[in-house]
Structure 1
Amino acid sequence: MDDSALVRRLVTTALQADAEISVVGVAVNGRDGVEQVKALDPDLVVLDIEMPEMDGLTALDRIREDRPRLPVIMFSTLTARGARQTLDALGRGASDYLAKPSGAGSLGASIAAVRDELVPKIKALVGARRVAGLPSARPAPVTQPVRRRLVRTAPDALLIGCSTGGPDALAQVLSQLPAAFGLPIAVVQHMPPVFTGMLAQRLDGVSALRVREAAEGDVMEPGQVLVAPGDRHLRLRRVGAKVSVRLTEEPPENFCRPAVDVLFRSALEVYGGNVIAVILTGMGQDGLRGTEALAARGAQVLAQDQASSVVWGMPGAVVGAGLANEVLALPAIPARLRGLAEG
């Protein structure tokens, strides 16, 4: 649902090009959209934030009253205002978001850009919902941990990777860690520029830890969380006795920049296997190869379970490869981290 005829046409054309997707309704404003959701019972909603009569945030609240588990993807502008509104929407229960095309280039290029980003999100979210809703569905079997030597000393750092559903998952985890948490923390959340800075501010507001967007040369310190900035890889490097941040514009990995794999590989060079690696909810397999390298050196690997994940792509890949020492529901992760941090 969107108040712009051009955007409605763009999104509809992009989705109808996929044989597995049917557009069952197109709304011109939030009020119309809420009524269509009730009448048409769709599998997923794409919702603009700024609309007349009823804005997207209000429409999301109304939809959630009747359909608390219906996947909703927010359509947002790449601006500070758009980032703030998108994070508000994610906090209110939106499943994911998509940045609107910048306007540069042809209509065909814009349609292709929306199709390439939106279609995989739709399939991942609808697929996850259908699996969870099947009467016979059960949590995926947990692969037994690989028999390998674990580092038994107190870890040197905590590394977290996430994507779809990550902002809310991060808020739940970080809000339960004390100010005296003894490890430095580095986070890769797949998000564009501006959004990651806003995310860091919000996480700082709900956590006793110091949370901020990473900058070149930042030092990893206990009780501090550094969030990789959008469109930059976050690497760790040792400078004397300290470990600092290096931000790079190297090519994307796993179609992502920042990428979890980049952070994890660099952490291996600095800390060896003496880290805790956590893979939270997210689409795709970013983090799998980096986790594999860390696990081979004895790192402790935690993965979020399927039932509590918005999309079980990233943690599911780690579990399926037998790399996770523990597969935990999201609410159980903070307490486990507190225990592991003490060695």
Structure 2
Amino acid sequence: GIPVIYDIVRNLPAELNCPVFIAQHLPDAFMEFFARQLSAQTDRTVCVPKSGAEIRERTIYISPGSAHLTCGQSGRRRKIEHLDHYAGSRYSPSVDALFESVARVYGAGALAVVLSGMGNDGAAGAVHLSAAGANIIVQDAESSVVWGMPGAVAKAGLADAILPPALMTRLLARAVK
């Protein structure tokens, strides 16, 4: 998962100005290190944000390992929120919690990417994204170390595309043209 995240972030099109949210299953002690390593791959701002931080364009937000990263909105202001508990998932940080909040805040304007990982985290959140009209792409089984998370989304019929990481970056480049 992490090398693929580095590769995708390194190849994000310069014209793609939206915020990027990442929920990676890592212990809290590693999140700042992960953010620093990811920052070396891009000219975008990369951070493990505090709850209440305003969401900005061209910023990559890494979920803390001790809470669930979610998005909130008050009027036109979009902000980061942390949940200490999310009943819908046994994973922390939870992709489901993130996806559900992104569906509420960004709706059809969201694009979700589910990469290799164990379990089914992301599948329940993908239901919310799909209902909101968002697009969801998942990593293919052949390039995944473990096809649990992307496989759960694909098997639920929620994936708009099933691709290897190299084609995901091409798709992102085409999306901004």
Equivalence for 2:78: 243
Corresponding residue to 1:261 among 96, 115, 119: 96
1:251 CA drift (Å): 4.6
Please tell me whether residue 293 in structure 1 is matched to residue 128 in structure 2: yes
Equivalence for 1:212: 47
Residues 33-63 of structure 1 deviation map (CA, whole Å, 9 limit, x = unaligned) = xxxxxxxxxxxxxxxxxxxxxxxxxxxxxxx
Once residues 208 and 177 of structure 1 are traced to their aligned partners in structure 2, the CA distance between those partners, rounded to angstroms, is 10
Code of the residue aligned with 2:25 in structure 1: it is H
Corresponding residue to 2:29 among 194, 200, 207: 194
Question: Is this contact kept in 2: 1:177–1:208, CA < 8 A?
Answer: no
Question: Is this contact kept in 1: 2:51–2:80, CA < 8 A?
Answer: yes
Once residues 325 and 293 of structure 1 are traced to their aligned partners in structure 2, the CA distance between those partners, rounded to angstroms, is 14
Once residues 263 and 228 of structure 1 are traced to their aligned partners in structure 2, the CA distance between those partners, rounded to angstroms, is 9
Give me the TM-score of the superposition, normalised by structure 1.
0.49
Code of the residue aligned with 1:226 in structure 2: it is Y
1:341 CA drift (Å): 3.8
**Higher RCO (Cα < 8 Å, 6 or more apart):** 2
Code of the residue aligned with 1:286 in structure 2: it is D
Which consecutive residues of structure 1, in runs of 5 or more, have no partner in the other structure? Answer: 1-165
Residues 267-292 of structure 1 deviation map (CA, whole Å, 9 limit, x = unaligned) = 12212232101101110000001101
1:253 CA drift (Å): 4.6
Equivalence for 1:305: 140
Question: Is this contact kept in 2: 1:301–1:326, CA < 8 A?
Answer: yes
Instruction: Indicate the SS of the match to 1:316.
Output: helix
Which consecutive residues of structure 2, in runs of 5 or more, have no partner in the other structure? Answer: none
Once residues 227 and 306 of structure 1 are traced to their aligned partners in structure 2, the CA distance between those partners, rounded to angstroms, is 25
Residues 85-125 of structure 1 deviation map (CA, whole Å, 9 limit, x = unaligned) = xxxxxxxxxxxxxxxxxxxxxxxxxxxxxxxxxxxxxxxxx
1:252 CA drift (Å): 6.2
Give me the TM-score of the superposition, normalised by structure 2.
0.93
Equivalence for 1:273: 108
Same amino acid, percent of matched pairs: 33
Change (3 A) 1:178 1:208: farther
Give the aligned length.
177
Extract structure 1 runs of 4+ deviating beyond 4 A: none
